[in-house]
Amino acid sequence: MSAFLPRLRERKVVQWAVAYAAGAWVLLQVLSLLAGTYEWPPNAMRIAVGVVAIGFPVALVLAWYHGEHGAQRASGTEVLIIALLLAIGGGVIWRFAPSAKMGSESFSGSSAVVQGRTRRTENDSDPIFVSDHRSIAVLPFENLSDEKANAYFASGMQDMILTKLAAIAELKVISRTSTEKYASHPDNLKSIGSQLGVGTILEGSVQKSGDQVLINVQLIDTASDKHLWAEAYPRTLENIFGVEGEVAQKIADALKAKLTPAESASVASQPTRNSAAYDVFLKAEYELQEAGSTWRQETFLAADADYEKAIALDPGFALAHAKLGYSRMRRHWYATPLSEAELAAAKATIERALALSPDLPEAHLALAYYLYWGYRRYDDAVAEFQRTLQLEPSSVEALAGLAYIARREGRWLQSLDYMDRALAISPRDGQLHGEKGNNLVYMRRYQEADRQLKLALELDPTDANAKDQLLVTRLYGFGDVDGARQAYRLRPDWRIASEATLGGDVLNLINPHAYPDVFERHFDAALATWDSAPADTEGERLAARSARVAIRIIAGQREAVRTECEGLVPILEGELARQPESLSLIQQLAWVNLCVGRNAEAIELARRSVALMPIEKDAYNYGTNSIVGLAQIAAHAGAPDESLKAIRQLLSIPAGGVISIERLKLDPVWDPLRSDPRFEALLKANVEHVGG
């Protein structure tokens, strides 16, 4: 080693290394400047760095080889060899670089990200987006009309423009749910651009007076706060058609986004030429937005009525047909189940939309949710969601649908992937963040779930589902009763009926609002909480009575309510005869049967719930809720073998939303099993499935 260092100095190898590094640094700085100026593909700089790195050892070898007393000379042949080596090295890096070659048109198969837009082939259905200047958020349009009732019109114009933009694959378009809480003309555009991951923002205002309409829009660069484009559109209701397409095309031109012929046709298309139909359609859209926030049946019905008016005014209004079908299916899933005749009517209006406009993305989305929400035909629904994404790459609802189906089929990691893709387009969507939190709860990644659900509630403090899951996370994940109560302190109401529809887990019957007291064995407090429960319908009053029964049974006080239970049995049996597939009524009658000593009947009802919603059909809430419900009923009916079998099954799969070792240790619902040595051994083993 002592002889080697002097030879390095003699041959000036170190000096050459320093000189090469300095020269390479200068070269890369120049290349970086050129890349930014001429919009080189992002992979170009990666290749340049690789080539320079390959040249470094070559330069050192030549310095050593020619270094006689510090004199380095290289022949023309050697220079040619170096050039060839660098060229070959660059080609190898280009060929095997981990990201796709930007700008290439030769790919097939899955999507390749191209400067914030999406390269897709016929078979690709899951676009991925990254942020650059071809990304845009449409902020809420300001209503400048004297009549504030015209707010629906401003909201509708914003939505129609956003929908047109979402059909352009080379644009990343942020969803409405992530922009709706921003001001129409905020001062902090750079901050908003950073929050949403976009390079441009569209602001707008709408002024409507009688049949006169003035629409002003302006496209702003978020980094520089410069106006890229602005225009005013004075129109009447009779000639307003096509404005949204004109705006979308001007934005695409300003952002240098290239449209395919199909996209150009979609952007230029006009949903209707009937001004009255268009106006009432925008009212229906506004009402459907409200229904999505309240889940109240009357709001859905108001939206449906206006969609129907639009169709009556223009029977060829394909978009109105599609949105009517979609609205009915949302009402079916979130508010009041539709009858078979109503489901058939929903399907007919969706099919009419497709007949009128076979490539209408809203029609394919409505059909996807009809297949999913109506009949759980997952494979068929997935195909329609993927078709929707081909037609509208920025469809958050399609990506969310794929995520929801994936988790119901037990594909938890894929579900998370779809949710992350949706969140890339809708980064400020509180509900979507909450749904991701739900996944993490079921996967028993409770620490991550807690953070995710808190984020969801920061974005949307009214999200009752996120509060439910945050409570579950803290009870089942950490045994933290105080933390669970804190998660629920802002809960606006109880939603008795909707909570009970899940059936299965006794938490759904007793209600998350009251369950921390049960968990802490403050049974009188749990019963007292029910004194303020908002029970307005007969179904809610029946659920409230059944909940009190369940609390008493868990507290070991079933004899105190036996008379009450004897009166409830025939009432619940009559209701269940009318609604034989109601998981809520099955659950209520099972607990009431326990109360009167009809243990076999109670277990049979719990098994019936599992059969109606098997885990193979729903690995998410309904399937796992039915199994945990069976475990609870069997435990209190003196059937520990069946109860423990169900518990072991749930511990072996992602089911952290209904069962965990912490819950088994602390929740009094499992008290009947505590003297069983198998239950004790299960707790000591402390083994449960995590992940998915």
CA 327 to chain centre: 19
373 vs 342: CA distance, rounded Å: 13
pLDDT in tens, 206-226: 998 888 889 999 999 998 888
- Identify the pLDDT of residue 495: 63
CA distance 373 to 401: 10
Arithmetic mean of pLDDT, 42-71? 61
Amino acid at 616: E
What digits encode the pLDDT tens for the residues 531-551? 888 788 888 899 999 999 999
Per DSSP, what are the bridge partners of residue 71?
68
| Closest among 170, 141, 165 to 153, alpha carbons compared | 141
Please give the full DSSP string across 415-469, using - where no structure is assigned: HHHHHHHHHHH-TT-HHHHHHHHHHHHHTT-HHHHHHHHHHHHHH-TT-HHHHHH
- Model pLDDT for residues 250-296, shown as the tens digit of each residue: 999 999 999 999 889 989 999 999 989 999 999 999 899 888 767 78
Residue 641, classified by CB atoms within 10 Å of its CB into exposed (0-12), middle (13-18) or buried (19+), is exposed
Q: Which two three-digit tokens encode residue 570?
A: 């025939």
- With CA atoms as reference, report the closest residue to 251 among 180, 167, 188: 167
One-letter identity of residue 213: V
Higher pLDDT, 98 or 401: 401
Distance CA 371, CA 388 (A): 14
Answer yes or no: are the C-beta atoms of 179 and 138 closer than 8 Å: yes
187 pLDDT exceeds 50?
yes
Residues whose CB falls within 8 Å of the CB of residue 1, separated by 6 or more in sequence, listed in order: none
Quote the tokens at residue 618.
């729903």
- Under 8 Å between Cβ of 169 and 118: yes
Q: How many residues does the chain have?
A: 692
pLDDT score at 180: 86
pTM confidence score: 0.75
Give the span between the Cα atoms of 330 and 328, in whole angstroms.
5
CA distance 485 to 73: 79
What does the pLDDT average to over 45-55? 65
Q: What percent of the chain has pLDDT over 90?
A: 57
Question: 360-395, pLDDT tens digit by residue?
Answer: 999 999 999 999 999 999 999 999 999 999 999 989
pLDDT band (50, 70, 90) for residue 111: very low
Confidence of residue 463 (pLDDT cuts 50, 70, 90): confident
Q: What is the pLDDT of residues 115-165, one digit of tens each?
A: 333 333 333 333 333 345 689 999 999 988 877 777 888 888 888 998 889
Flag whether pLDDT at 93 surpasses 60: no
CB atoms within 10 A of CB 219: 22
How far apart are alpha carbons 248 and 150 in whole angstroms? 23
Element housing 471 (H / E): helix 464-472
Note the pLDDT tens digit of each residue in 299-355.
899 999 999 999 999 999 999 999 999 999 999 998 888 999 999 999 999 999 999
- For each of the domains in the chain, give its residue range(s) and CATH number, in order of start: 4-96 (no CATH), 135-268 (3.40.50.10070), 275-439 (1.25.40.10), 493-685 (1.25.40)
